[in-house]
Amino acid sequence: LDVVYNHTAEGNEQGPTLSMRGIDNASYYRLMPDDKRYYINDSGTGNTLDLSHPCVLQLVTDSLRYWAGEMHVDGFRFDLATILGRYHEGFDERHSFLVACRQDPLLSQVKLIAEPWDCGPGGYQVGNFAPGWAEWNDRFRDTVRAFWKGDEGQLADFAARMTASGELFNRRGRRPYASVNFITAHDGFTLRDLVSYNDKHNEQNDENNQDGSNNNISWNHGVEGVTDDPEINALRLRQMRNFFATLLLAQGTPMIVAGDEFSRTQHGNNNAYCQDSEIGWVNWELDDEGSALLKFVKRLTKLRLAYPILRRSRFLVGDYNEAIGVKDVTWLAPDSNEMSVEQWEDPQGRCLGMLMDGRAQVSGILRPGADATLLLIVNAHHDSVAFTLPDVPQGEYWSCLIDTDRPQLRKAQRLAFGSVFEVTGRSLLLLELQRDEDA
């Protein structure tokens, strides 16, 4: 359940007196310290609730317990959650509200997801919530968008996002699920519009197209909006498959916006909250394009369920475990050698392989694991790249599970070690190592 406990409908000091302002204005709201006639506006809506006050804290936690206990809601996403953890001097992960959620026998058992930013000072807190919380990871969104758009210098950041952004979340005992990965959200472009528009088109919101974000990291692939050009439409579809494959094959918790899985459009409107019209509605009558994309997404979700290595409980860190002779993840250049520092830093680098060794343990047990070994290859170049398939111990050959250039791929192709695979420009591959016992 998406919940908004950071402000009320009473607006700023000139807004209506509906409830809390009339009951106890100074207790419920954060007020300007030098002139308490005015509200602190960290929410961007005119007022900000003060959860450091015991009465406000009780109001919010009682509400949450009602939803969880009486209505059986199994999780909450907290809008502008930094506000909920802010004292007057700033954000504190030990804020009474965050501690109450962690200690409450009911709330500590449900999913707690933070939108870890707000408009206030020190408002950007991605990675700074306590263990037990998951957080929206906008770094995943922005990096993955820029990578598949073909922007320079994205390769190292892309690798970090594929491993649940360990530099942000791999501390204090947190797990990969703490990173909520997403490409799109309820605010902003839909996935189809992300690959169809360079600019927002919010004219029907009656604000002269001034509302909504201008920083969309989108690309229309040659034509703004709808086109009958078959090459552009084919590339847009492949890019949508690339985005979905990246999202569902990355470590962490994937989040999908309803309708993206069958190519829903808002016709370039990236701020459709105010629209009670076809712009914001979800049309469940699928066309051929939507049906095909939905079928592909179903395959990806089944793969994620079938292969535990895609949803590990420990971070992939790239360290060599001498006790069992295994490196959990190895980053490969197209020649199948490990990526060099120069290749990581090359601004023109847009292709790499992510080798996830199924023998790597997710615990401290000193014996090899038994997961599948997978090789993920991404190529954001506009041209194809010749990728040499690596020779991996305890295997005989590779078979292809996913190819975003061939979404209808069904029969597993036998791919020999050392063979060269022409990876189509702007495409993604997922290969599985076939071991001796599988032959």
Percent of the chain with pLDDT over 90: 92
Q: Is 261 a catalytic residue?
A: no
* Token duo for residue 208: 């002269």
Alpha-carbon distance of 255 to 311, in angstroms, equals 14
Q: Please state, in angstroms and as integers, the Cα–Cα distance from residue 122 to each residue in 35, 118, 394, following that order.
A: 22, 8, 50
pTM of the complete model = 0.95
The per-residue pLDDT for 321 is 86
Q: Which amino acid type is present at position 130?
A: A
Q: In terms of residues, how long is the chain?
A: 439
pLDDT exceeds 90 at position 292: yes
Q: Comparing C-alpha atoms, which of 168, 185, 177, 179 is closest to residue 137?
A: 179
pLDDT tens-digit readout, 32-59: 999 999 999 999 999 999 999 999 999 9
CA distances from 381 to 73, 152, 173, 384 (A): 44, 10, 37, 7
Q: Residues 389-417: what's their mean pLDDT? A: 90
3-state SS of 66-133? HHHHCCCCCEEEECCHHHHCEECCEECCCCHHHHHHHHCCCHHHCEEEECCCCCCCCCCCCCCCCCCC
Is 70 annotated in the active site? no
Which residue ranges make up each domain of the chain? 2-136, 316-438
- 105-113: list long-range contacts, CB under 8 Å, 24+ apart: 106/65, 106/68, 106/69, 107/61, 107/64, 107/65, 107/68, 108/132, 110/68, 110/73, 110/74, 110/75, 110/76, 111/74, 111/75, 111/76, 112/75, 112/76, 112/78, 113/75, 113/76, 113/77, 113/78, 113/180
Alpha helices in 195-287 (DSSP H): 230-249
Beta bridge partners, 41, equal none
Mean of the per-residue pLDDT values of the chain: 95
Integer-rounded Cα Rg, in Å, for the chain is: 24
Among residues 79, 142, 211, 396, the one annotated as catalytic is 79
Between CA 3 and CA 406 the distance in angstroms is 40
Q: Tell me the C-alpha distance between 415 and 392, whole Å.
A: 13
Cβ count within 10 A of residue 343: 18
The single residue of 10, 42, 115, 357 carrying the catalytic annotation is 115
CATH class of 316-438: mainly beta
Per mean pLDDT, which range of 104-108, 233-237, 406-410 is the poorest? Answer: 406-410
Mean pLDDT value across residues 167-192: 97
